[in-house]
Chains A and B, each alone.
Chain A
Amino acid sequence: MFKWLLISKYLRRKLAPLFAALAVTVCTMMVIVVMSVMGGFLDLLQSSAHKLTGDVVIDANTYGGFPYYQDLIERIEKLPSVEAATPTVVSYGLLRLFDSTKPVEVMGIRPREMDRIVGFSQTLMWQSSDIDNLPTNIDLEKLSLDMRSPLATDDRPGCVIGIETNPVQWRDEKGQYNPGWAAVFSEAVISVLPVTTKGDFVDAQRLRCVVLNEFKSGLYEIDSSRVYVPFDELQRKLLMSGSTQSVDAEGNLVDKPTPARASEIMVKAADGYSPQQVEDDVAGLMNDFLAEHPELTVQPRVRTWMQRHHTLLSAVENEKGLVTFLFVIISVVAVVMVATTFYTIVLEKTRDIGVLRAIGASSYGVSKLFLGYGLGVGTLGSLVGLILAAIIVTHLNNIQDTLATRMFSFIAFVLVIVISSIIVTIATAMLCRRRDNRLELTVLAAAATLVLLSLTCYYLFPHVTLPGIASLDGQFGWRMWDPRVYFFERIPDRLDIFGSAWVVLGAIVSSVVGALIPAILAARMNPVEALRYE
């Protein structure tokens, strides 16, 4: 029991352990912030990637596609683990829009089925209200899901283009797209190159369509290169919709039907089933399917969305791992800090350790004293670090906005806070000295002032403009995160609670480990020699 008494006394009456706790705080904070932000990116990327392909995707593994897809879909949809499946055709071509031509990936989809499977309508950028001068009876979302021109007389199909394929669209410094530049109801001309089942080129085909909406998936590569068109239209243009005749081995037309083909099937798992389970089930079906169709020389692949986007996701995963690792290495500093601090404390307290031993403390008890001390420093430091990290992470976007638009006002505010806190601290220190030099009171007063002033300034900050400084803010400003460069317009600002718990635990364990050597030293000390120590 004496341990806890002494630990609390040592913690409150000494500056050195406070510094050690501070080191633990800073390291914990760094690691948690980095982990949360990088983890946030990974989450964003993952959910975007997931929304592109559904839970499981079967792809043809060849530009020419695979036949009997409708039959396969019917069988897949009968699986209890599957909720729905939809076919797509994929090709590459050129998009001509506003006199600009760009290479794109053209994807033929059934929008309503896509919506059920991956929430297609959620990626649509514009609502009717966003676009000026639109007749009130026009519902852009419904139109996009029908993929038909709004005019009954118009027989052109509709299309939905990736927002970055629009040559006149751009993002402002807040990362927002401008509805004024939306290509809605403009004509897009898409040229595609069909190939025969044997892989030979046929003449390029041209598809004129009306842009009904723009989509933003969250993955720049997709948004800058993909165009959605109706499944049947593209299938026909690509000569994949089948016919009553086919070409035989000598190249002659014969009266044997060619089946229609699709490039991919997207599958959505039923509630309670994981993509992995669905993949297993679908792969089983696929084996039967292939056994029934020995003529399929190129076998379609079944993959989960994670396997499909493996390269992209694991790149970010790697980055996250590496950065976290680097910061964990930096955090070894905290362990060393704790160890040196405790070492000096053991030296300084040698005589007291001798006294404790002389009045009956066991060497085990003395070592527990220092381990407990490490536990105290680690717990205190890492919890404060967790709180700071939580504040920083959840306010990252504010912080970044502040730096971009009100950096100098912010510095002025911080100076006010810091200077007043220093004055308060010195005042309390002087007051306390006259009575009983209680370190804890000084620290407490300083912390309280700091928190109070920070809170006041935090709430005043957006409302107060400091003359002179405001003009500085207007001229200079630093955007640490330019959303025009990166594709997510907001910095991920969710605290990784599970990871944070591990970091806090790790910090506490490291502090105890840091205290271990000093604790062993203290336990080994001969009481008589310790008493003689001056």
Chain B
Amino acid sequence: MPRDLLQATSLKRSFHEGGRELHVLRGIDINVQRGQMVAILGASGSGKSTLLHLLGGFERPTACSVIFDGRNIYDLPGGKLDHYRNQHVGFVFQFYHLLPELTALENVMIAAMIRRGPLSWLAGQGATRQRALALLERVGLRERTRHRPAKLSGGERQRVAIARALMNQPDVLLADEPTGNLDRNTGANILQLLTELHDEGQTMVIVTHDEHVAARAESRGSVRRLVDGQLDGL
């Protein structure tokens, strides 16, 4: 039995809102193995994004912890947690979240630039650029490298975002409703791209409220349902 890449047991997260305690995640048990594709299906507001943020090292759970490769990421010192977000996970957002001032190519490259000083950046610049171009080509945007996000369609923006998430060869790709903001056709294309990436060996966790997406994932991995702050099914 291979060791879990990402794992959490009875993970809890609650918010204080207007003096009341809001228990969003009430005890999540999840484990993701290398090469696996996990889909999490849940209604809007069920806490899918919150779960993904916890797995991605964005914010602390109220109780319990997230174990990555045998280590609790929230026990890491601050700098190491930044490193974790940068190197070990790639995040794809529902609303793309590209930087509007940068071109598609720069948006992809920035993931590699962000933790490098000017010197090591200059040394590796050519290789970084090549990799970013190759990724853009891989997601089908060869002709759009110099476009700014405002000049790209929703599907194209999400492709740039996926290329950015893959830039540092993350161990796991976390996708938060990657098709949620797209029409059915475009969404299907994005989903196609993600499944292809999975075929190439990319570990990923996709959350969605869309049964169609879940159905696509069913054939190749596990689908879990997020209900009442807990995951069911295996």
| A interface residues, Cβ below 8 angstroms from B | 1-2, 4-6, 9-10, 13, 351-352, 354-363, 365, 526-528, 531
Contact = CB atoms under 8 A, between A and B. Distances in A.
Interface-central residue, A1, A10, A361, A363, by most chain B CB under 10 Å: A1
6 contacts: A5-B102, A5-B113, A351-B97, A360-B87, A360-B111, A360-B115
B155 interface: no
Given A5-B106, A5-B110, A526-B59, A362 B101 contact: no
Interface in B45-97: 53, 56, 58-59, 78-79, 82-83, 85-87, 91, 93, 97
A504 to B, nearest CB: 24
A531 B82 CA distance: 16
Contacts of A352: 99-100
A357 B85 CA distance: 8
B30 to A, nearest CB: 19
Contacts of A365: 82, 114-115
Contacts of B97: 351, 354-355, 358, 531
B138 interface: no
B99 A355 contact: yes
B93 A359 contact: no
Nearest to A352: B99
A356 B114 contact: yes
Contacts of A355: 97-99
Contacts of B99: 6, 352, 355-356
Contacts of B101: 6, 9-10, 13
Contacts of A6: 99, 101-102
Contacts of B93: 531
Given A355-B99, A362-B79, A2 B113 contact: yes
Contact of A362 (B78, B87, B118, B164): B78
B86 A360 contact: yes
B126 interface: no
A303 B205 CA distance: 87
Contact of A2 (B58, B98, B100, B110): B110
Given A6-B101, A9-B102, A531-B97, A359 B114 contact: yes
Contact of A360 (B85, B98, B102): B85
Q: What 5 A-B pairs are tightest by C-beta distance, nearest first?
A: A360-B86, A1-B121, A9-B101, A2-B113, A362-B82
A359 B102 contact: no
Interface in B103-142: 106, 110-111, 113-118, 121
A6 B97 CA distance: 15
Contact of B91 (A1, A4, A358, A363): A358
A358 B58 contact: yes
Contacts of A5: 102, 106, 110, 113
B82 to A, nearest CB: 4
Contacts of A527: 58-59
A375 to B, nearest CB: 14
Contacts of B78: 362-363
B147 to A, nearest CB: 10
A362 B116 CA distance: 11
A351 B86 CA distance: 17
Interface-central residue, B82, B106, B111, by most chain A CB under 10 Å: B82
B106 A358 contact: no
B53 A359 contact: no
B88 to A, nearest CB: 10
Given A1-B117, A6-B99, A528-B53, A359 B106 contact: no
Given A351-B97, A527-B58, A358 B117 contact: no
A358 B111 contact: no
Nearest to A365: B114
A9 B110 CA distance: 13
Contact of B116 (A1, A10, A357): A1
B56 A1 contact: no
Contacts of B98: 355
Interface-central residue, A356, A358, A359, A526, by most chain B CB under 10 Å: A359
A355 B92 CA distance: 10
Nearest to A1: B121
A360 B110 CA distance: 10
Contacts of A360: 82-83, 85-87, 111, 114-115, 168
A5 B132 CA distance: 16
Contacts of B86: 359-361
A352 B111 CA distance: 13
B145 to A, nearest CB: 15
Contacts of A363: 78
A354 B85 CA distance: 12
B102 A528 contact: no
Interface-central residue, A10, A362, A363, by most chain B CB under 10 Å: A362
Nearest to B119: A1
B158 to A, nearest CB: 14
A525 to B, nearest CB: 12
A226 to B, nearest CB: 65
A361 to B, nearest CB: 5
A13 B82 CA distance: 28
A365 B79 CA distance: 10
Contacts of B114: 1-2, 356, 359-361, 365
Nearest to B125: A1
Contacts of B106: 5
A451 to B, nearest CB: 27
Interface-central residue, A2, A351, A362, by most chain B CB under 10 Å: A2
Nearest to A14: B101
A290 B122 CA distance: 76
Contacts of B116: 1
B59 A359 contact: no
Contact of B56 (A4, A9, A358, A362): A358
Contact of A1 (B53, B79, B118): B118
A266 to B, nearest CB: 61
A528 B113 contact: no
Contacts of B79: 362
Nearest to B168: A360
A5 B108 CA distance: 13
